[in-house]
Structure formats: structure tokens, C-alpha cells
Amino acid sequence: MNQEKALVWFRRDLRDHDHAALSAALSNARQVYCAFVFDTDILDALPSRQDRRVHFIHASLVELDAALRARGGGLIVRHGRAADEIPTLATELGVGAVFANRDYEPAAKERDAAVAAALQQQGIRFHAGKDQAISDRTEVLTQAGKPFTVFTPYKNAWLKRLTPADYAEWQCAGQLAPSQLTGVPTLERIGFGATDLENIGIRPGMSGARALWNDFRAGRIVRYGALRDFPAIKGVSYLSVHLRFGTLSIRELVRTAVAEEASAWLNELIWRDFYFMILDHFPHVVGHAFKREYDAIRWADWPAGLAAWQAGRTGYPLVDAAMRQLNHCGWMHNRLRMVVASFLSKDLGLDWRLGERYFADQLNDFDLSANNGGWQWASSSGCDAQPYFRIFNPVTQSEKFDPEGKFIRRYVPELASVPDKYIHAPWAMGRIEQEAIGMVIGRDYPTPIVDHKKARDETLARYAVVKKTC
């Protein structure tokens, strides 16, 4: 095989700058090819052929292909099983090495191992390096040399070892090689259709990421800690889908956070590394509780309760507004992700995995590590120093983080006429008051499907079985 030729396999890193695998290939080979595979192992498992994430990837690939063509290369795009397509393509091109960026999901690690083995049989090397995380694998460990299982000690160790080299930009200068460039196939060609990305305000690709990032860092990054918990306020970055698909570099975000001393924002980026690390070291979290004793919990069997939660028809305004936001645009504010997750597992008594699965289907920014970590945090089965009796009160959360009910009224318009005094618990209004504003509980908006105080007592009893086994 020609050691002067290399192939870069793009996955969840859809940009042509500050890209570890691309930089490594350009540094080690004279001819560098670039490829992406629409992996049928992933696509065939999706619940709909109208998937915003596939649409986002497709549009981002069109932009990436144009950027690579401007540099003399372009994307070779295949549709099939990546485990088959990459070794086949590498052999066809006669490359000596394939470069990719590490993925921490169990299925991805299994896929990469299969690709590496197939390439090795052909005498082709496979290199997978760190790109989507600042610290990974064994770079941040306890003094005993073990992975951390609680965030705060991990964060402290992460910050202690951080140096400018960890977030330095990877240079990607060099000549790219064009080959078999037929452009990015249409969505229809791979069996999918266009979605409403434009209508819900999502601009894919590196340009979309850059626009959001410039807007956030211009005025909000230093105020992130004060604004981030209020869903009616433009306080967060809205970059999650771009981080998920790598249309901008995590290193650039960390560089700016450090330079601006934006500790609250940096803290969120550390959480991202933390959940990557947990998934990498403890793959049993996929399908099981991180704290294995929590698998003993006997969850309620209540399909109607699950359906009401999914539809935003629980009778709790903040929970319903959050779920309707998710159903409308495939995104949910982080504070609300915690509120609705706590409500599902600790008010409705339903298995957290049901919520995790629903989020996985609905979220544009779905990332297995963060989604699993967040759901297990909320259900107290994951990496959390707080005990299981931390149960969010959906009314007090509403009063604290949406005090005027602006977010609620945006997504639950049937409550638009409810006075601020009752917007968080409209059932507290008398019947005469309800009739006067034309909004009757049980007719125009659901009666709460559970009593929070009673549900809290039932949750404590349900979790007591865990306490006995500890």
C-alpha cells in the first residue's frame, strides 16, 4: 500500500478546520482523500424517514464538500454499512492509512474495531485520535488511577491538568486529492426526505455554527451563569446540535471560555467530557443503571401516563410547555430537560429508559452520552452525589424559572388568559374564575394527572428498595 496516500473518515466532525484527523492525515501523507458514509446500520434504525438530524447532516455535508473542493479535494460519499464501505474504499484508493476521530459509544467502538481489523488484513493502518473531547480515556483519573464517578471531583481534576496545548487549534493546511467525486447524493437517494429545519430556525453546517457562536460570544457567554436557567430568555448558546455533529470545534469554545473567564459556560463543556468518559469506561449504562442496584426498582406500568407526558398533557404547565417545545422543534432548554425527566421518573413513577428513548427519537442534538447521563442523573441512578430523595417540584420550578409564565404561554396557548398568580398551578383557580377567563380545567386544559405530594411519597417508597440493598 502507498504510505503517501491517506483517507480521512468524517463522522461526527463535519468541518474542515481545527480537525484532528484531517490535520494528522495532512501531516503524514502527500495525498489525502476525504470520505463520509451514510451508515445504514444507523439510518435503518431511525423511526422516521423524515429525520431532522439526517437533513442536518446532509446539508452540512454539502457545505463541507464545497469547502474541501475549494482546497482541491472534496467528499467521497458512500451509502451502506460503514464497516464494509470504509475498508473497500481504502483498498480502492490504495491508501496506506485511514484517519478518524474517536467515538465513545459502544456500537461505534465495535464498528471501529471491525474496520481496523479489516484494514489490517489489507496492510492498511487505522488511526483514531482525540477530537470531540478535551480530555478522554485515562487522561483524567482519580489518585487511585480509576475513572471518576462524581462530577465535581472530575471537574477539579480536569481543570487542574488543563493547559493551552489541550485546546490549541489543529492546523489543517495541505493539498487534498480529488477522486470519484460525484457530490453529495440527495436525501431522496438515501431514502429520506427534507424536513422543517429552516422553519424552526436551524441553519446547518459550519456557517450555521459560526453564526450562532458569534452571536453567543458577543454578549451572552459572560452572562451565561445568570441567564441559563430561564427558558423564556435568550440565555444559552443553542449550539448543541452543532457540537453533536462537529460543525465547530470544542477547542475553540474552550479557548474562548478560558480567555473570557466564562466559568459557568466552561463548566457545561466539562460536563460533556464527563459524560463521554462515563460512557467510555462504563458502557453498561446503555440499557442499565450506572448504579446497578437501581435496576431493582419496580417502575409503574402506566401507558396513559407516558402518552400524556409525551404529548405535553400532564396538567402541569411547565412540564407540558417543555414537552411541546420538544415535539415542535426537536430541542428543549436544559433546565427543562431536568424538570421533565424528574417528573417522568419521580412523579409518574415511570422507567427513566422510556424517557431516554423518547428523547433519543425527538432531539435534534441527541447524543447518547449526554442523554443517558442526564436521564440517569434525574432518576438518581447515575453519577450524582445527591441522594435519591431529590425530587423536583414542577410548580416551584415553574415559579422560579418562568416567574411570569412567558415560556408557558408560548407553548401552552390555552393558558394565555390565566393570570400570573395561577399560571404555574391553574387548577388552584375557582370554577367561577375559570369560567370568567374561558379556560376550564378538565375541559380546556387537563386536570393534573398526579398529585405531586402523593407522588413524592410513592417515589420514596419505590426507591426504598434500593436503600435496603445498599
Look up cell 485511514; give the residue: 98
Task: Name the active-site residue from 139, 299, 399, 433.
Answer: 299
Contact 252, 210 (CB under 8 A): no
Query: How many CA atoms are closer than 13 Å to the CA of 378, on its beta-carbon side?
Result: 28
CB atoms within 10 A of CB 273: 22
Can you tell me the distance from the alpha carbon of 226 to that of 397, in angstroms, rounded to the nearest whole number? 16
Task: Name the active-site residue from 158, 265, 331, 375.
Answer: 375
Task: Name the active-site residue from 158, 170, 265, 271.
Answer: 271
Contact 349, 300 (CB under 8 A): yes
CB atoms within 10 A of CB 352: 26
Burial class (CB in 10 A: 0-12, 13-18, 19+), 91: middle
Contact 55, 194 (CB under 8 A): yes
Element spanning 97, H or E: strand 95-101
Q: What is the dihedral of CA 373, 205, 97, 18, to 10 degrees?
A: -80
309 carries an active-site annotation: no
Task: Name the active-site residue from 268, 364, 371, 372.
Answer: 268
- DSSP bridge partners of 100: 128
Can you tell me the distance from the alpha carbon of 316 to that of 309, in angstroms, rounded to the nearest whole number? 10
Exposed e or buried b for every residue in 371-389, given b needs 16+ CB within 10 A?
bbbbbbbbbbbbbbeeebe
- Strand 75-80 and strand 125-129: the pairing is unpaired
Look up cell 447515575; give the residue: 382
Element spanning 4, H or E: strand 2-10
9 carries an active-site annotation: no
Task: Name the active-site residue from 267, 327, 334, 393.
Answer: 334
Can you tell me the distance from the alpha carbon of 337 to that of 316, in angstroms, rounded to the nearest whole number? 15
299 carries an active-site annotation: yes
352 carries an active-site annotation: yes
Can you tell me the distance from the alpha carbon of 177 to that of 179, in angstroms, rounded to the nearest whole number? 6
What cell was used for 328?
415542535
**AA identity, residue 343:** F
267 carries an active-site annotation: no
265 carries an active-site annotation: no
Checking 282-289 for CB contacts under 8 A at 24+ apart, the result is 282/147, 283/106, 285/372, 285/373, 285/376, 285/382, 286/106, 286/368, 286/372, 287/353, 289/376, 289/379, 289/381, 289/382
Residues serving a catalytic function are 268, 271, 299, 334, 352, 375
